[in-house]
Chain A
Amino acid sequence: MTEVTRMTAAELAAKIHAGELSAVEVTQAHLDRIAKVDDQVRAFLHVDAEGALETARKVDEDIAAGRPPASPLAGVPLALKDVLTTKGVPTTCGSKTLEGWIPPYDSTVRRKLREADVVVLGKTNMDEFAMGSSTENSAFGPTHNPWDTTRVPGGSGGGSAASLAAFEAPLAIGTDTGGSIRQPAAVTGTVGVKPTYGSVSRYGLVAFSSSLDQAGPCARTVLDAALLHEIIAGHDPLDSTSIDAPVPPVVAAAKQGLDGDLSGVRVGVVKEFQGEGYQPGVLRSFEAAVQQLRDLGAEIVEVSCPHFVYALPAYYLINPSECSSNLARFDAMRYGLRVGDDGTRSAEEVMALSREAGFGAEVKRRIMIGTYALSAGYYDAYYGSAQKVRTLIIRDFESAYEKVDVLVSPTTPTTAFKLGERVDDPMAMYRADLCTIPANLAGNAALSVPSGLSDDDGLPVGLQVMAPALADDRMYRVAAAYEKARDAATGRGVLDQIPEL
């Protein structure tokens, strides 16, 4: 039998629900794996062994008593990004500001996982307040890419993605503001999905850029991501931007994709996301993936989205603007770090000293850029123009989706870069999100599925599949069909090729 930590979530659920494996032994196997390898990977900021085993015991009791499991993933372990609040379990957002904070309430995502009896193993590392593309902006040290521990696992959700690639968890939750689920998925050889904006509740997701933030599923297979998607998605009255519409049938779509037939599906290749600045091995992997989609029966069309090249500059105005406003809540009065309160200083001085001590460099940069972009005199030229670009990007998508059902591109321009390589060059770091940002600005659905290894450095490459808002099912179908064809062609899965830690 396959080692427990190597199984997919779907396989684990089937065995647990059939009584062939207990949820407790599955949970313990993952806790043991974390104990064994996490000093090399550092995917977790906090491991909640007791809470995890308690959920697992409940699942085993249900099954022993003949009660139906609470969900199709009941008893399956999961790693939760540390930006989602967990009642009674620390939530830091990778920041010194929130070190030691124990939230008094659960995020809606956490509540749904609890109700589904998904076993939450712990909280994963991330760039501070989700600002970054390498997880090096965590105040608690970087996460290492399990493919090569001298390289970054992407970011901001590097901990969640690395936990999957290191076989510490079969499922994870990430959040994607500009690519923080998809970009780490691409560079770790895992699957990451940004659902349509508004389909997963933001209640209890510590706000960074509210018009862009979206939580979503991370897994090692497309079907596993779909199973998790259906558990966490759905309307929530506690989030005023939550969409009151049925969750698209993503599990059925992934299963349909596994039939291996994409005839009648029109796939658009984004012309602007290739060429100069892209690693040759990434482009070759992408071209091979497009050929495989064609072989599956899809009709391939080249599509131009001329304003996508303006998405990155627009994003780095909109996102810091919203960030500067959202992070004003960290005022050292109601929660979080307070320094310098010696009885002589005013509240304002204590606030400025606390924010200085609690925030890292990238957070400070974005707060200041946002403050600048929203200032009188600069507002129209910067923030106002960026909002106009957002309109132009939405129009590009609309005209593309008149011609095609989904769009594809490489998820990232390069494979995983070295730790430290881009920390002193913010613009170089920002370019890691070049291809992922348009879907955030438009609120569309998008995912990354591994397209094998780059032939120039042997590191994983991601294929991005984008779909219109609330048509998430389309990209699951295409990605599942592709994933199966990819493995059939090479005779093994992408993660089967990862070196032992």
Chain B
Amino acid sequence: MSTISRDEVAHLAKLARLAVTEEELDLFAGQLDVILDAVAKVSEVATDDVPPTSHAVPLTNVFREDEVRPGLTQDEALSGAPAAEDGRFRVPRILGEEQ
């Protein structure tokens, strides 16, 4: 039985902001199905009494003094931007046609 349909893959691609092609949908639907089937094996041993681990090293909050220290200059911060204008990132319009 299939774990994931072609339509679901199209929905995932939309959520993940990937403008995938029709051919990719065909390819990925089959591949993701095989992968998800294989990884579903984890549920065999993941019983209720096992606590989850999100991180191998126990984490505690890390603090530092709230002191000004040098960061990137404006030019450096913009140096990799696809488009910049007046010392700022230039972005496409935020609202699409349907909004």
| Interfacial residues, chain A to chain B (CB-CB below 8 A) | 101-105, 197-198, 211, 237, 240-241, 243, 307, 310, 313-314, 316-317, 324, 328, 331-338, 341, 343, 345-353, 355-356, 359, 361, 364-365, 367-369, 371-372, 381-382, 384-392, 394, 426-427, 430, 441-444, 469
Contacts and interface: CB of A to CB of B under 8 A. Distances in A.
Contacts of B15: 371
Given A332-B82, A391-B52, A346 B35 contact: no
Interface in B58-99: 59, 62, 64, 72, 76-77, 79-83, 89, 91-97, 99
B40 interface: yes
A426 B77 CA distance: 37
Contact of B46 (A237, A369, A389, A427): A389
Interface residues of B, number: 59
Nearest to B82: A338
- Best-buried of B4, B50, B82 by chain A (most CB within 10 Å): B82
B1 interface: no
Contacts of A335: 80-82
List of 8 A-B pairs having minimum Cβ-Cβ separation, nearest first: A443-B56, A387-B52, A385-B46, A338-B82, A335-B80, A346-B96, A104-B76, A388-B46
A341 B92 contact: yes
B35 to A, nearest CB: 6
14 contacts: A211-B56, A316-B39, A347-B93, A364-B28, A368-B32, A369-B39, A372-B4, A381-B40, A386-B46, A387-B52, A392-B50, A394-B53, A426-B34, A443-B55
Contacts of A387: 52-54
Interface string B1-28: 0001000110011111111110010011
A382 B42 CA distance: 7
B38 A441 contact: no
Nearest to A364: B18
Interface of B: 4, 8-9, 12-21, 24, 27-28, 31-32, 34-36, 38-47, 50-57, 59, 62, 64, 72, 76-77, 79-83, 89, 91-97, 99
A391 B54 CA distance: 9
Contacts of A367: 16, 18
Contacts of A368: 9, 12-13, 16, 18, 28, 32
A352 B14 CA distance: 8
Contact of A333 (B31, B62, B82): B82
B69 to A, nearest CB: 11
B43 A211 contact: no
B44 A310 contact: yes
Nearest to A356: B19
Interface of A is mostly: helix
A369 B93 contact: no
A335 B18 CA distance: 17
B82 A310 contact: no
A389 B40 CA distance: 12
B66 to A, nearest CB: 14
Given A198-B57, A369-B35, A385 B82 contact: no
A211 B72 CA distance: 26
A427 B43 contact: no
A384 B53 CA distance: 9
Nearest to A348: B96
A356 to B, nearest CB: 4
- Best-buried of B43, B46, B83, B89 by chain A (most CB within 10 Å): B46
Contacts of A332: 82
Contact of B35 (A237, A361, A427, A443): A427
A157 B1 CA distance: 36
Given A102-B79, A333-B91, 14 more contacts: A101-B80, A331-B17, A333-B89, A334-B80, A345-B96, A346-B96, A349-B92, A352-B19, A364-B20, A371-B16, A372-B36, A387-B53, A426-B34, A427-B38
A349 B40 contact: no
A420 to B, nearest CB: 16
Contacts of A211: 54-56
Contacts of A382: 36, 39-40, 42
B16 A389 contact: no
A313 B42 contact: yes
A315 to B, nearest CB: 9
A78 to B, nearest CB: 25
B40 to A, nearest CB: 7
Contacts of A427: 34-35, 38
B64 A310 contact: no
A317 B40 CA distance: 9
A490 to B, nearest CB: 37
A359 B18 contact: yes
A307 B92 contact: no
B61 to A, nearest CB: 8
Nearest to A339: B82
Nearest to B50: A388
Contacts of B35: 316, 365, 369, 426-427, 430
